[in-house]
Structures are given as structure tokens and as C-alpha cells.
Amino acid sequence: MALITEESANHKTIVTIDGPAPGITRYSETILPTEFGDFQCIIYRRENGDEEVAMVVGDVSGKSDVFCRIHSSCLTSEVLNSIKCDCKKQLDAALQKIQSLGCGIVVYLHQEGRGIGLGDKIRAYAEQAKGRDTVDANRVLGLPDDARTYAGAAYILKDIGVTSVSLLTNNPLKIKGLEKNGVVVSRRIPHLLEAGEIANNYVRVKQDRMGHLGSKI
Ligand SMILES: [Zn+2]
């Protein structure tokens, strides 16, 4: 992967760009009953052993404008109930949404801490505790603002067989990441939720410094 810097009028973001197509294959699947309903749960395995998840509702193969969320893992929020970010709420809302629509896909990628991993995410949190925002905390540690890649997610969507997606996201890099890997994003649906005060700060920094879209908080 290579580091690039993207600049626009109001933000400058260091990101990684996707490398070669990932070695990733469909490994197993079942119907998974959850609090929100039944999902077709498909596991994809990468050559390095990482496993990614697709939660699917309805018959989406061959369909266009399929409602889709690409969600990056956040153990601190989703498992440990951290209130520093709104990831758990975003994930739950997306899973509930595809149940209510009766059709859609949530792809869950293991990219903790915008791809820097759990250990470095906690190092960055320690910097944030000193008063740095989420961007400066990464930079003072020499870490990229956002190291996530989307070639794997694109592979998964193509494997499932959708012809285009309506993507639930505020992140333009996610749209670019899918499109450059051959997925047609026919529409962007803003993902705006009520978050607590601490998470609101996090969302505000993402909007002001990382080019995320949405109403200003
Ligand atoms: Zn989070």
C-alpha cells in the first residue's frame, strides 16, 4: 500500500490506497438469527487469515441499487461500549435498516481504528486524552489518518452479485474505494444518527478535517 495525501478546500487527509486485489474467498455461510431478525451470514477468509463478514437480507443477487453499509470493526464501541464514537449505533442502525427494507447487505470489515489496529488505536486514544483531536493524535504517533482499504469489500459485493449499491455512508473515501475496485455506487445515503456529546466531537472532527459529509453538528 502507498501513502497518498488528498487535499481539498477544507481538509487534508493522509490515507492509504488499496494495493493489489486481496486474496479473499467465500468460506462459510449460514442463517444467523439475531435480535434484529434472521440474516444470511457469509464469512470470507483472506490469505492472511483475517475473516470478513457479509450480513445479507433478501435476494440481492443480480439486483441494482441494493441498500448497503460497509462497516469497519470497532471493538471499543461494539463490544466494550465506549462512547468515544458512534460505531455501534451505526452498525445496529444499518442491520435494522436492511431488516426493515427486507433487502440489503452489511459488510463488516476487520479494520479496527480506521485500519491502524486496536493497540495503536488505544495509543491514539491516550494522545486524545491529552487534548489532541482524532487526526492530530494519529499524526503525532506517525500513524495515517485513515488506513482502511475497500478492495476486499468490493470483492464481497461482486461475489454476492449485486450490480450496484445505494451506499449508507458519510465517507467519500469509501465511495471512491468501492468504485475504483469495480463496484457501481448508484446513490449515497447519509448516515446521521444522534450520538452522545463525546461522540459528537469525534463526528465533528471527521467532518472538519477528514472530508466526511453530513449536516454540521
Ligand atoms: Zn468506533
DSSP 141-182: TT--SB----HHHHHHHHHHT-S-EEEE-S-HHHHHHHHTTT
Break the chain into its structural domains and give their ranges: 23-111+148-206
Residues of the chain below pLDDT 70: 1-22, 194-199, 202-203, 214-217
Catalytic residue, chosen from 45, 92, 146, 187, is 146
Q: Could you tell me the distance, in angstroms and rounded to a whole number, from the CA of residue 153 to the centre of ligand 1?
A: 19
Q: How far, in Å, CA of 87 to CA of 90, rounded?
A: 5
pLDDT value of position 28: 97
Q: What are the Cα distances from residue 175, in Å, to 45, 50, 84, 127, 140? A: 23, 23, 25, 30, 28
Q: Which residue has the cell 445515503?
A: 189
Q: Could you tell me the distance, in angstroms and rounded to a whole number, from the CA of residue 62 to the centre of ligand 1?
A: 32
Catalytic residue, chosen from 26, 148, 204, 208, is 148
pLDDT value of position 175: 93
Helix (H, G, I), strand (E, B) or coil at 131: coil
CATH class belonging to 23-111+148-206: alpha beta
pLDDT value of position 212: 76
Q: Which residue has the cell 461500549?
A: 81
Query: Is 146 a catalytic site residue?
Result: yes
Q: How far, in Å, CA of 48 to CA of 22, rounded?
A: 10
Q: Could you tell me the distance, in angstroms and rounded to a whole number, from the CA of residue 149 to the centre of ligand 1?
A: 16
**Model confidence pLDDT, tens digit, residues 5-40:** 344 334 444 444 455 556 899 999 999 999 999 999
